[in-house]
Amino acid sequence: MRTALIQQQNSDDIHANLDKTLKAIDRAAEQEVRLVVLQELHTGPYFCQTEDPHIFDLAEPIPGPTTEILSKKALQHGIVIVASLFERRAPGLYHNTAVVLESDGSIAGIYRKMHIPDDPGYYEKFYFTPGDLGFQPIQTSIGRLGVLVCWDQWFPEAARLMAMAGAELLIYPTAIGWDPSDTDVEQQRQREAWITVQRGHAIANGLHTLVCNRVGFEADPSDSSGGSLFWGSSFVCGPQGEMLAQAPSDDEAIIVTDISLARSEQVRRIWPFLRDRRIDAYSDLNQRYLDARQDT
């Protein structure tokens, strides 16, 4: 199956961003891809660098204007599209939501981001309510897609639960980058950790993993920080963590990669991690933290 990741730099012009995305989808479709993955919140800049109530005006319902446009594009090319949107579910209730458009233009399903960060430059808890749909793969004509979003990528539990529910691919739309004030060494440590943890999810679950990140510098609208330099580096890796394709860290790219879903079956036969899980011994994973236990 041929897949495409569209890594792009965004501006404040939502219409221009979406137009650029649509043209990139067209170019990917010329290469006979069946799946296109877009980066997190792909229609605009990463607005969570600051807390601004006016930003909520950018949220939209699902179905809504953007899903209508992308649905037509999915139908035009007969492809599945994974998009990431700022969802307005109800007044005062908003989510960071991935939506999957089926090749016939219908909405196959949505996933609402479960893990919501609140770190310098990533003030997402101000905007997004944690997801309430759980970790359920979305059934499509090309397979069951385990769609997660950005901060979810650091949590092995999320990837595992998707795999346990029958996901055939792990897919991460994401928006992550460097603090320009960090040293070069620190920046590279962060990027390598981001790549490594997701390759680990691929290995631990025997699944191809597709990661689509944004790229380029985006200023902090509040001028309280040096902004964010998104590190791109979108990639596809196989079920043994093997790197199949990777985008540059400093430029836009369309990464087209052929993957074989049958390979997961082959890998899981020789590395049967699901078989050997000690589900009888994992009950403590339901705890936040295991405080030291005193002998009595």
Mean of pLDDT values over 136-152: 98
Confidence band of 90 (pLDDT split at 50, 70, 90): very high
pTM of the predicted model as reported, rounded to 2 decimal places: 0.96
Q: Which of 160, 249, 231, 165 is nearest to 202 (CA)?
A: 160
Assign 209 a pLDDT band (cuts: 50, 70, 90): very high
The fraction of the chain above a pLDDT of 90, given in percent, is 96
Q: Read off the pLDDT of each residue in 93-111 and give the average, rounded to a whole number.
A: 98
pLDDT in tens, 218-274: 999 988 889 999 999 999 999 999 999 999 999 999 999 999 999 999 999 999 999
Domain ranges within the chain, ordered by starting residue: 2-274
Say yes or no to pLDDT of 294 above 70.
no
Element (H, E) at 28: helix 14-29
pLDDT band at 296, cuts 50/70/90?
A: very low
What is the pLDDT of the chain when averaged over all its residues?
A: 96
Distance from the first to the final alpha carbon of the chain: 59
Mean pLDDT calculated for residue range 200-205: 98
Six-digit token pair at 165? 């529910």
Give per-residue pLDDT as tens, 155-171.
Answer: 999 999 999 999 999 99
- Residues 103, 264, 258, 5, Cα dihedral to 10°: 60
pLDDT at 225: 87
pLDDT at 54: 96
Residue range 6-41, pLDDT digits in tens: 999 999 999 999 999 999 999 999 999 999 999 999
pLDDT value at residue 291: 87
Residues serving a catalytic function are 40, 113, 150
**Residues facing residue 40 across a β-bridge:** none
pLDDT of amino acid 295: 52
Torsion of CA 110, 63, 37, 160, to 10 degrees: 0
- Residues 6 or more apart in contact with residue 257 via CB below 8 angstroms: 2, 3, 4, 5, 236, 244, 245
pLDDT at 9: 97
Return the axis-axis angle of helices 184-205 and 156-164, rounded to nearest 10°: 20
CATH of domain 2-274: 3.60.110.10
